[in-house]
Homo-oligomer: A and B are copies of this chain.
Amino acid sequence: MKREDLTEKILDIKREKNLTWARIAETIGGHSPILITAALLGQMKLTKPQCAKAAELFGLTENEAKMLNEPPYRGSIPALPPTDPLIYRFYELVMVYGTTFKELIQEEFGDGIMSAIDFEMTMERQPNPKGDRVRLGMSGKFLPYKYYGNDETVPDYGFGNP
């Protein structure tokens, strides 16, 4: 069984039962809808209790439920650059603003990166008379590059060599 087959099965049942992600996230609970959607699309894991609820909702086998509890091999886009226009726009933002992000984050924080692991995100509708807007909030921990000294201790790698 491959994770993408499980994802396809979940999407089939979602369609069949007329479920929405909002409704699914509410039923499974415990995490943000973004995380739960991402997990069911094969990009994050669910906790065991969440897996049990997902199994009930989608009629999954025990092994399928266990698979939802495993960290997946991540990467949701069939090909890069993404061919889908909605997803491509995010890719375009990276292409256009990537060096700007680098300059401004480093000026403010020093040498390091914004974590994509210790990272949270929100997404919501922003009403606007000229046309509603998609509002994304992202917050990632700043991780400074570790600049370590030259410790003279001779490492012992335990391989049993002289």
Contacts and interface: CB of A to CB of B under 8 A. Distances in A.
Interface of A: 1-2, 8, 12, 15-16, 20-22, 25, 30-35, 37-38, 41, 43-45, 47, 62-63, 66-67, 70-71, 73-151, 153-162
A154 B158 contact: yes
12 contacts: A15-B66, A34-B100, A71-B145, A90-B94, A93-B138, A128-B161, A130-B141, A133-B161, A137-B158, A139-B159, A155-B155, A156-B156
Nearest to A105: B134
B80 A84 contact: no
A100 B99 CA distance: 24
Contacts of A112: 86, 117
A51 to B, nearest CB: 12
Contacts of A84: 73-75, 98, 102
A138 B61 CA distance: 40
Contacts of A109: 125, 132, 134
B8 A12 contact: no
A134 B128 contact: no
B89 A114 contact: yes
Contact of A63 (B12, B80, B143): B12
Given A90-B98, A138-B138, 4 more contacts: A31-B149, A74-B83, A108-B125, A133-B141
